[in-house]
Amino acid sequence: MKSIEELKAIREKALKEMSIRDNEDKTRIIVGMATCGIAAGAKSVMSAFIDEIEKRNIRNVSVSMTGCIGICRLEPVAEIFEANGEKTTYVKLDAEKARRIVAEHIVNQKPVTEFTVGAAER
């Protein structure tokens, strides 16, 4: 980097890429990947979401990770944010549950309520 203009160009490019990733008409799947989540198996959950989305060639869904979601005893945790802003929190996940969530919630728009935070509290 040799000038402030070059730095500004890099910043603009990064902001543009971020806005593409955070496209408002996309559904977002966020997997908790803090130490607690990883210890509980979040890596395989994240991989299952990514693999299933790719296998089904779904283009309007992004999968990303975050740090601690705050409910460590219910890890692995994933949150699905619909394009309309609606959020569903899934808990105590494994790879098979992640695949089922893609099939039922993402493809068929029917949340898998038995895996949600409310069901885990009962």
Q: How do residues 13-42 score in pLDDT, each as one tens digit? A: 776 655 545 555 789 999 999 999 999 999
Residue 114 within a domain? yes
Q: What is the pLDDT of residues 59-109, one digit of tens each?
A: 899 999 999 999 999 999 999 999 888 999 999 999 999 999 999 999 999
Q: What is the CATH number of the domain that holds 97?
A: 3.40.30.10
**Residue 8 within any structural domain of the chain:** no
Residue 4: pLDDT band (50, 70, 90) is confident
Whole-angstrom distance, CA of residue 96 vs CA of residue 43:
13
Split into its structural domains, the chain has a count of 1
Query: How many alpha carbons fall within 13 Å on the CB side of residue 112?
Result: 20
CA distance 17 to 29: 18
Give the whole-angstrom CA distance, residue 53 versus residue 47: 10
Distance CA 31, CA 3 (A): 38
DSSP state of 77: -
Please report whether residue 4 resides in a domain.
no
- Tell me, yes or no, whether 80 lies in a domain: yes
**Amino acid 73: pLDDT:** 94
Would you say residue 69 lies in a domain? Answer: yes
17 occurs within a structural domain: no
Domain limits at 48? 25-120
Q: pTM (2 decimals)?
A: 0.78
Q: Where are the alpha helices (DSSP H) in 2-122?
A: 4-21, 35-40, 42-55, 95-101, 117-120
The per-residue pLDDT for 18 is: 57
Give domain status of residue 9, yes or no: no
The answer as to whether 75 is a domain residue is: yes
